[in-house]
Structure 1
Amino acid sequence: MKSKTIKVDNIQVEVFWKKIKNINLRIKSPAGNVVVSAPVGVSDYTIIELIRAKYQWICEKQSLLQREVAENKTKKNTDAEIFFKGCKYPVEVRYNAGKDSLNFHDDGKIIVQSKNVLSVSELENLVNGWYRYHLKLKIPELLKSWLPVIGVELNEWRIRRMKTRWGSCNIVKRRIWLNLDLAKLPPECLEYVVVHELVHLHERKHNARFWGLVEAFLPDWRESRKKLREWEVAM
């Protein structure tokens, strides 16, 4: 996948060329980074003209995000919400002398325990640690089920934040990476990404053989991929 950074007037734009049909423009929170995903072959000129056409909207969106960040720094996170396994949950922060923690509550809330008022970044770090914990429980279960079915061996798997991919596979080292944000998605999306990356150990490219194998192992993969793309736009 080709990528580069383009500066249009005073706006810095991260551009990623992918095997997609349409150009997607996103303003990512909290920093207001401008990210463009474009079909392979789209020129720099086309990207620049798009940014200039959307210049006012981009500036307004970035200003809004900056205000939200400034306001959130003074809040106690009592109105926060997070996604987990495809659902949105309200977050309630309770302050006490104990160790910082995050757990489900019987009434459907996620309860954060902290001895200090948490900043936005501190709450985000706590939530990401919680996501990582749950993925480390679920991924080994999926690998145990799918490795013998797909008929491959895996030396290692890891979790990390990725900007443009849900997963990746190093065929030589027989290692896969999985995006931390998969914890936010419905479980079938995580399963699809695991199967997708394991199939790459049979076939490196996204060719007819690759998709034929995915189809054979996971017949409803198209629906899961559709959900992934919907989340990619929303996040």
Structure 2
Amino acid sequence: MTTTLITGANKSLGFETARRLIAAGHTVYIGARDPQRGKEAAATLGARYVPLDVTSDESVDNAATQIEAEAGGLDVLINNAGIPGQVRTARDLRADDLRQTYDVNVFGPVRMLHRFLPLLERSANPVVVNVSSGLGSIATATDPEAHSAAVPVWVPAPGYGSSKAALNMLTVQYARQLPELRINTVDPGYTATDFNGHSGDQTVEQGAEIIVRLAQIGPDGPTGEYLSLTGTVPW
């Protein structure tokens, strides 16, 4: 049985990913900060709930202790929890505007990987999926045509895009140093979620597809790559 943990999984992409992986035979832990929403999501899906705030070392440690006690280890970690951050123009941007965004989107996955690596290393096929965004692609951001095609509705959210670019680089660093893991970063596409006021042109089912695929790769699967449903995303 494959044991999978998904952060921020009580709604949207995380919830749909959990639903699909449970259908594929995974034992899924729903990680969520809000106990009521987390328990409700787990009950609806037939998953297990674990209290989890990725901005808290104590919470991450407690989650790892619970999963280790109940499952003995972890096979798949999906770092899905994220926030859009402040809308700011370059002229108005302050360092404090970025702190919360980075704490969730960048430092959160680092906390998770640091604490859960010992559990993942017990697996015969350890897999990590970091949920990024097309907004984390520097190549796309510097190509006006590609950027407008990838993000039809643009808002100045430098914290979000730069945090996802940082997550992408971290993915490469982990992949190089931990070759026994399959660790990739994915762009779900412009999906209708709370992040964008449900203005995205994809359904949650479509957006979750690349996450689900990468969560199920074998030991010979890709690692250190930036992927979407249409293929490799330019860094």
The TM-score with structure 2 as length reference comes to 0.29
Which of structures 1 and 2 has the larger relative contact order (alpha carbons within 8 angstroms, sep 6+)?
A: 2
> Per residue, is there more strand in 1 or in 2?
1
The TM-score with structure 1 as length reference comes to 0.29
Larger Rg: 1
> Per residue, is there more helix in 1 or in 2?
2
